[in-house]
Amino acid sequence: MQSAMEKAKENNVAGRMKEAATALKNGPQLSAAGRAQAEAAKAMEDVVKAMEERREEELDRLIKKMKEAEKKLDDLANRQERLQKKMKEAVQIADAAKRAEELKRLAREQEQLQKETQEMARELSRLRSDRASQAMNQAGGQMQRAGQQLDRGEEAEEQQEEALERLNDAQRELQQSREEAEEELAREKLTKIAEPIKALRERQQGLIEQASRIHQKVLQENRWPLALQKGLSDLAEAQDGLGRETEQIAKDRLEGTKSAEAMRQAARRMRDRVSKKDPGEDEIEEVTPEGTLDGKLAKAAGDEVDELQRTALRRLDQLLEALKPEKGLTMGGSQRQGGGGGGGGGGQQGGGKGEGDGIPPLAELKALKALQHEVSERTRAFARKHPDVSKLGAKEQEELKGIRREQQDVTGLFHDVNAPSEPEGGKP
């Protein structure tokens, strides 16, 4: 929070807000007020971004420390298990003096393990894993009792076994705490990625509604008046601009991920309509030589535009659905698993390729599944419309090429995300 406040001070948020308030008091300065408001909004956006980034950094550091603690805890459990085995061997020593001497030596080992266990309990408390910390304190108590009995030359199997069980409990609790932190980090990152996509989706919906109103008006009036021609041209320009923004967000937020392809396909659908030399030209050519509108051609052209726009909208919806955080999903893409313990290791998670800016592999696969479904639907629709591919015109052939390219892209992306990752440290 402190860093966010420093960012607010650096950006002079309060000063810009005061400028806007002062300008609003004076009617002639409304334009200045608008500029000040825009600057204040941008400054506040930077503050929010700083807070989000700080939160992600904190969670990332916490997760790394928890993984390190898991390794230490695993080492403690292994050492306690070995000590228990040594104690069982020591009580079998026939010579009473040697047996007592060996048990006293093991008591010192137990005392050292107890000290490390108590220190680990404090560390886990600092890492906000209170249940794991409590289990470690209980393990430390059992170790203390075991050490006292060993020092008296007595066996302490029951206390050592209880200590080992509490260590195993701590391992399970720490793993759960770490996975909860990973899930929270995943939600933070997915939310940050999804927000600009939601904004694109809302704007795309608005353009679809605007296009529908224009084409309905044209069909009602049975002509293309200049006002509607201008409206269509403006719409095409807005759609092209939105397509460019979509491409840029795919590059900035999703570069290196499979989900970026869904964004790029949405952008292509947005811009397909304006790739011709003059937006709206085809519709205007629907006017007959007599000056009236060919309603059939006009409706077909309008339906084509609507389909392109709605396909882009579906791409965005599919991506947003894929980016929804799921309960128990960690950044490594694995689901939480109960149980564990007993020398289970540090709970390291394997990550798939192309996780990009924090997109779990399952979200990537969901996005690819949606893309494959969309390509399959386009293929079936094309086959129904054109059962004889030998009779395709130039336009239809180009459409078929586009479908084939999309299928190749999705196939390649699936092979990439399904490929085994290299082991840590590079190739074996």
Q: What is the mean pLDDT of the chain?
A: 76
Give residue 354's pLDDT: 40
Instruction: Dump pLDDT digits (tens) for 305-317.
Output: 888 888 888 888 8
- Has residue 355 got a pLDDT over 50? no
127 or 274, which is more confident: 127
Confidence (pLDDT) at 339: 42
pLDDT of amino acid 88: 94
Whether 350 has a pLDDT exceeding 60, the answer reads no
Bigger pLDDT: 318 vs 49: 318
Per-residue pLDDT tens for 46-67? 655 666 677 788 889 999 999 9
Residue 250's pLDDT band, with cuts at 50, 70 and 90, is confident
Alpha helices in 255-346 (DSSP H): 259-272, 281-284, 295-322
pLDDT (tens digit per residue) in 152-179 = 999 999 999 999 999 999 999 999 999 9
Q: What is the pLDDT of residue 139?
A: 96
Residues in CB range of 139: below 8 A, 6 or more apart: 117, 163, 164, 166, 167, 170
Position 151 confidence tier, pLDDT thresholds 50, 70, 90? very high
CB neighbours (10 Å) of residue 256?
13
pLDDT level of residue 413 (50, 70, 90 thresholds): low
Backbone angles phi, psi at 225, to 5 degrees: -65, 160
Are 139 and 167 in contact by the 8 Å Cβ rule? The answer is yes
At residue 105, the pLDDT reads 95
Model pTM score: 0.59
User: In this predicted structure, what is the pLDDT of residue 127?
Assistant: 93
**What is the amino acid identity at position 112?**
Q
Q: How far is CA 368 from CA 54, 133, 406, in A?
A: 31, 42, 11
How confident is residue 374, by pLDDT bands cut at 50, 70 and 90?
Answer: confident
What's the CA gap between 208 and 319, in Å, rounded? 19
Q: How far apart are CA 245 and CA 201, in angstroms?
A: 12
Mean pLDDT, residues 136-153: 95
Under the banding of pLDDT at 50, 70 and 90, the label for residue 415 is low
Q: Residue 30 and residue 26: Cα distance in Å, rounded? A: 7
Lowest mean pLDDT segment, chosen from 67-71, 76-80, 237-241: 237-241
- Highest mean pLDDT (candidates 48-52, 82-86, 210-214, 349-353): 82-86
Which amino acid is it at 422? Answer: E
Helix (H), strand (E) at residue 49: helix 30-90
Average pLDDT on 323-331 reads 62
Residue partners of 216: CB distance under 8 A and separation at least 6:
none
pLDDT digits (tens, 9 = 90+) for 1-56: 445 445 445 445 455 445 545 544 554 444 554 455 455 555 555 655 666 677 78
Q: What is the pLDDT of residues 175-232, one digit of tens each?
A: 999 999 988 888 888 888 888 888 889 999 999 999 999 888 888 888 888 888 888 8
Structure tokens at 243: 């397509």
Question: Average of pLDDT values for 347-358?
Answer: 43
Query: What percentage of the chain carries pLDDT values higher than 90?
Result: 29
- Could you tell me the residue ranges of all domains in the chain? 2-58, 64-174
User: Could you write out the DSSP letters of every residue in 189-230?
Assistant: HHHHHHHHHHHHHHHHHHHHHHHHHHHHHHHHHTS--HHHHH
pLDDT at 390: 81
Q: What is d(CA 166, CA 121) in angstroms, rounded to the nearest whole number?
A: 12
**Rounded to whole angstroms, what are the CA distances from 58 to 5, 53, 150, 152?**
17, 9, 43, 47
Q: What is the pLDDT of residue 15?
A: 52
What H or E segment, with its residue span, contains residue 48? helix 30-90
* Locus of tokens 């509108």: 293
The region of weakest confidence among 80-84, 107-111, 192-196, 297-301 is: 297-301
Residues 6+ apart with CB under 8 A from 18: none
Per-residue confidence at 318, pLDDT binned at 50, 70, 90? confident
